[in-house]
Structure 1
């Protein structure tokens, strides 16, 4: 019963952060339409979100175990509730910078806490991977829900209308529910004897992890993955609206297929991993991602969806592009699980801090680079760019696999 209450608290928190974090693509599209700003200018919102995640993770990752995971999660949820209540009353572009900075800092706390709590309650690698994939799957359900929540407030009317900002009152209520679920969860603080002797020692231990060859190649892989995911996910609503000429509400709803594909892909991957190795699965997924990009993007030229009234009327190519999420889905949680399972429980908060930092840097790089190419060239050029990190991921995942085998062989030899 206690485990169920903990999982509910973690799931509710991750669900609401999924909606908020991944709303950046929708907000970028609305900022371009409502506040008449350029794509390059609008793309900085991803930076406010991801760089705040990166910086705050780096600063607080080693400190969170000392104050307790539950307290840290409650502070994060409380801060987000307050900023969501403020946004609709200001309705200026700068407030979105503040919004995503607060969301980013709060998510840094939340992700480190959630991953660390999973390490506490899962006592072996299989249970860890199963629970982590479940929580990440719920995260993707939140992403999927977020597109429809926002589109229901936006509609297809006047571009300059800011009444859609009322969605943040609803979101504040959802975050409040997550706050209550965490408040009544029996989440334990880590035992003092497992923590480093000082805060400075804990910070140095986190930095020391990054110098391990296995951790370094993992960090590179995580960076490249998030670069692809955020580049596609953030700009897909704008691609649908400005390249395929679809209405704003339909563009946002259609982007939910990407989130849905990610969620389904992680669920399917969880079953496939019972029969095939993780490395074979990831290589197959990367090859399929590249093939889908090369197959679908040529079909998006010369499409005019301006007369489309609903997601059921859109051109075939518009359905196909978001399906890249299905093949992308297993990479991130699986790589995280393999890496975290290789570490002692007291190292997992520090490792999660590094994961969050470099994932955030990858997300910012992907979004800004995609936005720049989208603005200067075209949406097709921007999405073709994903082929570069896909090829680099093929190399880094292969090297990561080789290093994990070497580490396992070393452990067996020492035992």
Structure 2
């Protein structure tokens, strides 16, 4: 049943938000634990770093293809159907980890679980528009949602560390996530969703995604998301390598640098939800992008003595950027197209999550050290900061956001 076939209105907004928060936290537990799982994969299967890195690339590829290929389902079949479909596939693949021991089998499951994430995430992102009261409220809600993603990124690696310390396999993380997913499916079935404004669901298909991908606003926000993800991956993929063996001032920070980054990123997203409900999003975005650039430049100029403090601190400023770009990129479109647009932005996001760390690794190998990968990341941060400042001065999306506030949220 499509959303347009249900009675509009209604729905318990609090329960819907809670479900959405838990979905993002649940899948972040798995996607952001890859960094601590890969060393175990290298050890178990005697692999090189490039081959073991496919654990990350398989998931990101699945999310990208699931988002861009099936994102239109949220608009055609309805948010509830799409979310339950994606959660169901994710639950099956996550629980299947308990019965798999082959490397290729793991990759297949990771790709399928990634595709499932792409499906239910686009449904959830479209649903945020249905429960928002304005484009500004949409952005604040998106930051809160991503805050729970940040919490999952902290919990997941902690669970893996506990499992390994107790002699258990890292695979049980996926089983835990699968069980949580079953609970989320039950909740999703029980919750009444608000009716979405979809007048032409029958015409929504993959071509809708292609039309959205050609829109200059969708492309601009997608490219912005790509730049941000390129900068962020430098931290959670390569910062541990950059700081490995550091014994200078603040050496204790090197041991916990990645954990500090994730904690600040999560905390910053909740703070960002509060800030963006009160300040111009263009101003907040420009300040945060400039602060990220300052952290990276300071890390290069000051060497590892500065990087050990500045790179983890960048998480506080990174926290706001992606959910804000994602929210504005989606909310400049009518709600009837939110699923398709979310799929487009998600595709570019995951594409960058694969390409950027590969490029940084290649540059580092060619030049002789991880610092050169951070030179590339700093270049991306410079472009991102310039784009954010230009966006502050020109505010090209202002008129379109105002039009959507009037047509999509006025009631």
Note whether the superposition's TM-score is higher than 0.5. yes
Shift in Å at residue 409 of structure 1?
10
- Preserved contact between residue 222 and residue 348 of structure 2 (Cα < 8 Å): yes
After TM superposition, the score normalised by the length of structure 1 is: 0.83
- Preserved contact between residue 147 and residue 253 of structure 1 (Cα < 8 Å): no
1:213 aligns with 2:216: yes
Shift in Å at residue 136 of structure 1?
1.3
Structure 2 distance, partners of 1:408, 1:182, is 32
Q: Secondary structure at the match of 2:80?
A: helix
The residue that corresponds to 1:174 in the other structure is 180
Structure 2 distance, partners of 1:219, 1:114, is 18
1:195 aligns with 2:200: yes
Q: 1:299 to 1:91 in 2, by over 3 A?
A: farther
* Aligned with 1:234 (options 237, 240, 255): 237
Structure 1 distance, partners of 2:329, 2:403, is 15
Consecutive unaligned residues in structure 2, runs of 5 or more: 1-10, 248-252
The residue that corresponds to 1:309 in the other structure is none
The residue that corresponds to 2:115 in the other structure is 105
Shift in Å at residue 6 of structure 1?
1.2
The residue that corresponds to 1:372 in the other structure is 362
The residue that corresponds to 2:138 in the other structure is 128
Structure 2 distance, partners of 1:256, 1:195, is 46
Q: 1:210 to 1:396 in 2, by over 3 A?
A: farther
Shift in Å at residue 144 of structure 1?
1.4
RMSD of the TM alignment (CA)?
3.2
After TM superposition, the score normalised by the length of structure 2 is: 0.83
Q: 1:215 to 1:127 in 2, by over 3 A?
A: same
Q: 1:236 to 1:75 in 2, by over 3 A?
A: farther
Shift in Å at residue 356 of structure 1?
0.8
* Aligned with 1:404 (options 393, 396, 399): 396
Shift in Å at residue 36 of structure 1?
2.8
- Preserved contact between residue 50 and residue 360 of structure 1 (Cα < 8 Å): yes
The residue that corresponds to 2:170 in the other structure is 164
Q: 1:127 to 1:233 in 2, by over 3 A?
A: same
- Preserved contact between residue 296 and residue 310 of structure 2 (Cα < 8 Å): no
- Preserved contact between residue 5 and residue 186 of structure 1 (Cα < 8 Å): no
The residue that corresponds to 2:25 in the other structure is 15
- Preserved contact between residue 68 and residue 188 of structure 1 (Cα < 8 Å): no
Once the two structures are overlaid, the 10-residue window that deviates more, 82-91 or 380-389, is: 82-91
Once the two structures are overlaid, the 10-residue window that deviates more, 220-229 or 396-405, is: 396-405
The residue that corresponds to 2:95 in the other structure is 85
User: Once the two structures are superposed, what CA deviation does each residue of 1:46-68 show, in whole Å capped at 9, x if it has no partner?
Assistant: 32122222222222112333333
The residue that corresponds to 1:257 in the other structure is 260
Consecutive unaligned residues in structure 1, runs of 5 or more: 302-314
Q: 1:22 to 1:399 in 2, by over 3 A?
A: same
Structure 2 distance, partners of 1:80, 1:252, is 33
* Aligned with 2:347 (options 343, 354, 357): 357
Shift in Å at residue 336 of structure 1?
2.2
User: Once the two structures are superposed, what CA deviation does each residue of 1:308-360 show, in whole Å capped at 9, x if it has no partner?
Assistant: xxxxxxx9964543221111111111122223332211121111111111111
Map residues 137-156 of structure 1 onto 2, 5 A cutoff.
Answer: 137-155=147-165
The residue that corresponds to 2:8 in the other structure is none
1:268 aligns with 2:268: no
